[in-house]
Amino acid sequence: MPKIRELECSRCKATVSAETPRTVCPKCAGAFYVRYDLSGLKGRAKRDEIARDATVSGWAGMWRYRSVLPEVEPVTLGEGWTPMLRSRRYRNVLVKEEGANATGSFKARGLALAVTMARHYGLTKLAVPSAGNAAGALAAYAAAAGIEANIFMPKDVPFANYVEAKMYGANVTLVDGLISDCGRMVAERKEKEGWFDISTLKEPFRIEGKKTMGYELVEQLGWEYPEAVFYPTGGGVGLIGMWKAFVEMEELGWVKPGRRPKMIAVQSSGCAPVVRAFEEHASVSKMWENAATFASGLRVPKPYGDYIMLEILQESGGVALALPDEVILDSLKDWAKNEGIFLSPEGAAATAAYDHLFKTGFLTPEDRVVLFNTGAGLKYTDVTAEAAGIERN
C-alpha cells in the first residue's frame, strides 16, 4: 500500500497533509483528491500482481487494489469485486451488479474506506445526510468499526434503508424533506455534537473507495476500456472516482492511454440538476426545485461535486440525460422479465438511458458498454411495488 503524499483540492489545486482528518479545501471549499507516490507501481508486472495477490494472500473484494489505496488496516465486510453480467439480448452490454456488495449497494465501497480512515484517525462520532443507501452503508461499517453513526435521511426513503440503519444501531433521524435538508441539519449540529461530517465529497476518502469501480471494470474487461459507462448520478462520487482511477491507471501504464470511455450521467426527469447544467453548458448546477422520483438515490437536488462531474462529462465526450419515471419503471420491468435481473430504480435509469442512446444512434450495437446497477432491486420493494401498482391481496 502506498503512503498518502498529500490531499489536493479538485478546484484550486491547493494541497494539505493527510496527517489529520480533513473535510474540504480551507481556501475554496472544493473536494479533496488523495494523492500518492505511485512511482514504485509503474508497469504491467505490478498490475498483474493484483490478481495473483488476491488469490494467494486472500485480499478479497475491492482490497485487491490495496496497492493504490491508503496504507491502513481495512474495516471490511467483503465489499467490491462485484459481478459483470452480460446481457442476454445485447451482446456488448454488461451490467456491473453493485447490488452484490455488502449492504446491497455501491455505497459500501466509499464508506468502507471512509470508515477505515475514520478509525485510523481515531474519530468516534460520524454523521451523514443520505438519500438512503449511504445511511445503511455508514451504519454497517460504523458498527463493524465500533464508531457512532448519526444519520439524517428523508422520511420516505425505501423502508429497507431505515430498517438496516436502525438494526446496525445508528442514531437515525427521519426528516420531512430532501437530502439537502438533511445536509443542513448535519451542518448545523456537527460542531456542538462533536460529529465528523462524512458527507459525499466533504471528506476525501469516499471517492477513493468508489474509484475501485473504475479499476475493477477495466480489469474485468481484460484491462481495456469500454466505449461508455452509464452511471446513475445522485451525488456522483462514483463517476468522479472512476475517472480518477482511469487517470491513475494511465499514469501507471496499466492501461493504454487516450481512449477513455464516454461517461454517461443518468438522472430522473423529476430531479435532473446535472442534466440541466450540462445542456446549458454551465460549470455548476442550480438547485432543482421540488425534486421527486421513485429512484430515491437520484433525489439529490444540488450535488456538491457538480463542477467536477460536468468537467468529466465534457472531457470524456459523454452526455447527461434524464428519463421520466414511467420509462425507468418500464426498463426495470423489462430487465427483470427478460434478463432475470431485478434492478434498483437507479440502475433501471441506466438501462433506460442505454435504450435511448441506442435509438438515437449515439451508440451502436458494436459499442461495448458498462451499465451500473448501483443497488439491489430487493432494497426497494416498497417503492417499486408502489410505482408498479403491486399489492398483496
Give which of 107, 63, 58, 95 is closest to 237, Cα–Cα. 107
Measured from the CB atom, the residue of 28 and 292 that comes closer to Zn ion is 28
Q: How many CB atoms lie within 10 A of CB 122?
A: 8
Q: Which stretch binds Zn ion (CB under 5 A): 20-28, 264-272, 290-298, 369-377?
A: 20-28
Does the protein bind Zn ion through residue 44 (CB under 5 A)? no
Options 4, 7, 18, 25; binder of Zn ion; rule CB under 5 A: 25
Measured from the CB atom, the residue of 28 and 60 that comes closer to Zn ion is 28
Measured from the CB atom, the residue of 28 and 51 that comes closer to Zn ion is 28
Residue 187 in 3-state DSSP? helix
Measured from the CB atom, the residue of 11 and 276 that comes closer to Zn ion is 11
- Residues of span 331-360 touching Zn ion by CB under 5 A: none
CB of 273 to Zn ion, least distance (A): 22
Measured from the CB atom, the residue of 11 and 189 that comes closer to Zn ion is 11
Does the protein bind Zn ion through residue 12 (CB under 5 A)? yes
Phi-psi region of 226 (alpha: psi -120 to 50; beta: other; left: phi over 0): beta
How many chain residues interact with Zn ion (CB under 5 A)? 8
Q: Which stretch binds Zn ion (CB under 5 A): 28-36, 142-150, 202-210, 291-299?
A: 28-36
Please classify residue 35 by burial: count the beta carbons closer than 10 Å to its beta carbon, then call 0-12 exposed, 13-18 middle and 19+ buried: middle
Measured from the CB atom, the residue of 27 and 91 that comes closer to Zn ion is 27
Give which of 129, 85, 77 is closest to 103, Cα–Cα. 77
Q: Which stretch binds Zn ion (CB under 5 A): 8-16, 60-68, 81-89, 337-345?
A: 8-16
DSSP string, 115-168: HHHHHHHT--EEEEE-SSHHHHHHHHHHHHHT-EEEEEEETTS-HHHHHHHHHT
Does the protein bind Zn ion through residue 9 (CB under 5 A)? yes
Does the protein bind Zn ion through residue 27 (CB under 5 A)? yes
Options 5, 8, 14, 189; binder of Zn ion; rule CB under 5 A: 14
Does the protein bind Zn ion through residue 31 (CB under 5 A)? no
Which amino acid appears at position 7 of this protein? L
Q: Which stretch binds Zn ion (CB under 5 A): 29-37, 52-60, 232-240, 278-286?
A: 29-37
| Per-residue binder mask for Zn ion (CB under 5 A), 191-220, x = binder | ------------------------------
Measured from the CB atom, the residue of 32 and 215 that comes closer to Zn ion is 32
Residue 358 to residue 336: CA distance in whole angstroms: 20
Phi-psi region of 88 (alpha: psi -120 to 50; beta: other; left: phi over 0): alpha
Give which of 374, 388, 363 is closest to 95, Cα–Cα. 374
Does the protein bind Zn ion through residue 16 (CB under 5 A)? no
Options 4, 18, 30, 226; binder of Zn ion; rule CB under 5 A: 30
Quote the distance between the C-alpha of residue 12 and its chain's center: 23
Measured from the CB atom, the residue of 25 and 123 that comes closer to Zn ion is 25
Q: Which stretch binds Zn ion (CB under 5 A): 3-11, 54-62, 268-276, 278-286?
A: 3-11
Measured from the CB atom, the residue of 309 and 327 that comes closer to Zn ion is 309
Does the protein bind Zn ion through residue 125 (CB under 5 A)? no
Instruction: Decide if 293 contacts 325 (C-beta within 8 A).
Output: yes
Instruction: Decide if 238 contacts 263 (C-beta within 8 A).
Output: no
Does the protein bind Zn ion through residue 28 (CB under 5 A)? yes
CA distances to 24, 106, 153, 189 from 192, in Å: 19, 31, 20, 6
Lookup result for grid cell 399489492: 391
Residues contributing to the site for Zn ion (CB under 5 A)? 9, 11-12, 14, 25, 27-28, 30
